[in-house]
Amino acid sequence: MFGATSQPYDAREPEFKAVVLTMSDNDMYPLTERNNMTKALLPIANKPMLWYILQWLEQGGILDIKIVTTRESEADISNYIEVYKGMSNITVKGLSEVSGSADALRQLAPQIKGDVIVVPCDLLIDVPAVHFLDLFRIRRPAMATMFYEVMRSEGGGGSSKARVPLPVVGIDQPTSRLVLLEDVESDEELQLPMSLIRRFPSMAVSDKMQDSHVYVLQKWLLDYIVNSTDIESLQDDLLPLLVSAQSDPELFESSKLEKYMLKASSEQDVADDHDAAALQFELSESAAKPTDPTSSDSLQVFVYIRRGGIAGRADQIPQYCDLNYIATKLSIDPRVEESAELLKNVQVSADSMVGQSSKLGERCLVKRSVIGPHCIIGHNVKITNSVIMDHVTIGDNAVIESSILCKEATIPDGFQITNCEIGAKVSVFENSSLNKKTRTVDDYM
């Protein structure tokens, strides 16, 4: 997961096309301000978060990757890809207007010739991609997705503590089909139809799982998206539709999913005998009983559930801080770069990192934190549970706790910061006061 790859790109015909979505995210303000950097390049353990998902794809054998971003971020991400050392063929596409993940796929569809895997730029997960993709190959569902059990937060790291609402999911345990997906308020009671319970008596229901936004789609489903312009989001529109259509024959027919599945089935029938026999074996192994290839029951949404281990998205500031902490602990990179300068009696804990060419004054203490490259840290500074990005200057005797300092921020001598995010190029005044109630530049300038 955190190792590097250095092999050259293999120019064979790719089995999957990977699409990495790197659109802007308002929930990460002020980290994603234009003065700082685009979300995909935000550092996690002193590597751009985009690095982790590219490594995950490459180690899963995905050699054809398209990064989708906004026009404003296209140049920044393209510049990074030029220096990224990997083995895939990676291209960057900036789109002017995108209403959602499905709309992004719709715009890229002419360049996609087979099955496609869609991933977010902010995911860190220790499930090998090849395991997930092998299950897709064997079961051949219309769509496969991955949910994970939410990790317990380590606490601290940012002023925003908003709870991310989780859906109620139902999984048919014998087949690993996602058969229930409902958004339910905390004070609501979930009512399950008896027809669903009878059909899936071994269904497990949970409200502790989060969607990873990893989706694998058969080519026919991509064709369906292209011609269904009302579908804008894979998570909010397509996935609920497929889950419901699995057990609703009328919806299966009225949504025209039946039409596209029938066409795909007809095309498969003219495949060579060897491939047809292999496909029949795979279907018989994965299905509990034979089904009509054009019935609603043949429409399957497979879900991989990750319990425990490492799984999370940096889509909120607290989660971003937690993933920094986890990635730092697991990183095989040096805790302190050789070019960094540490003066007398500096303590850097084993769960912290100091980037290249940074300088730490005497008696500094760094615990459970990441300090980026080219930072200047004064004497007797205490940094705990924080992320310090590149070219930050911190004065003597300052205390930074559970906070994020974006690039080129300046903190004066003796200043204390707790549970805050300081924007890029911000110089904090000596007489100002920062605490968990202040968040934006305007709050203290």
Mean pLDDT of 317-330: 92
Mean pLDDT of 371-385: 97
Of the pLDDT bands very low, low, confident and very high (cuts 50, 70, 90), residue 293 is very low
The candidate with the shortest Cα–Cα distance to 185, out of 202, 168, 171, 198, is: 168
| CB-CB contact of 101 with 121 (8 Å) | no
Question: Is the pLDDT at 138 greater than 50, yes or no?
Answer: yes
| The two structure tokens encoding residue 111 | 């360049």
Report pLDDT for 422. 93
Q: How does DSSP assign 214-237, residue by residue?
A: EEEE-HHHHHHHHT-TT---IIII
Question: Is the pLDDT at 139 greater than 50, yes or no?
Answer: yes
Query: Model confidence over 401-424: pLDDT tens digits?
Result: 999 999 999 999 999 999 889 999
Mean pLDDT of 265-292: 52
Please give the radius of gyration of the chain, using alpha carbons only, rounded to the nearest integer: 24
Report pLDDT for 283. 52
Question: Is the pLDDT at 220 greater than 70, yes or no?
Answer: yes
Q: How does DSSP assign 379-423, residue by residue?
A: TT-EEES-EE-TT-EE-TT-EEES-EE-TT-EE-TT-EEES-EEP
Mean pLDDT of 95-106: 92
Question: Is the pLDDT at 289 greater than 50, yes or no?
Answer: no
Please tell me the least confidently modeled range out of 65-79, 247-261, 271-285, 381-395: 271-285
- Cα four-point dihedral sign 110, 116, 121, 122: positive
Residues 120/125/128/133 CA torsion (nearest 10 deg): -40
Sole residue written with tokens 């550092």: 43
Report pLDDT for 368. 94
Of the pLDDT bands very low, low, confident and very high (cuts 50, 70, 90), residue 265 is confident
Of the pLDDT bands very low, low, confident and very high (cuts 50, 70, 90), residue 12 is low
The one-letter amino acid code at 28 reads M
Report pLDDT for 158. 53
Query: Model confidence over 126-137: pLDDT tens digits?
Result: 999 999 999 999
| CB-CB contact of 350 with 367 (8 Å) | no
Residues 432/438/441/442 CA torsion (nearest 10 deg): -80
Question: Is the pLDDT at 40 greater than 80, yes or no?
Answer: yes
Distance CA(150)–CA(166), nearest Å, equals 9
Could you tell me the end-to-end alpha-carbon distance of the chain, in angstroms, rounded to an integer?
A: 41
Report pLDDT for 35. 87
* Domains of the chain (ranges, CATH numbers): 16-317 (3.90.550.10), 335-443 (2.160.10.10)
The one-letter amino acid code at 148 reads Y
Report pLDDT for 183. 87
Question: Is the pLDDT at 163 greater than 80, yes or no?
Answer: no
Report pLDDT for 73. 93
Report pLDDT for 438. 41
Distance CA(345)–CA(366), nearest Å, equals 12
Distance CA(155)–CA(172), nearest Å, equals 34
| The two structure tokens encoding residue 313 | 């998205």
Q: Which residue has the higher pLDDT, 184 or 94?
A: 94
Report pLDDT for 296. 60
Mean pLDDT of 291-320: 82
Query: Model confidence over 325-373: pLDDT tens digits?
Result: 999 999 999 999 999 999 999 999 999 999 999 999 999 999 999 999 9
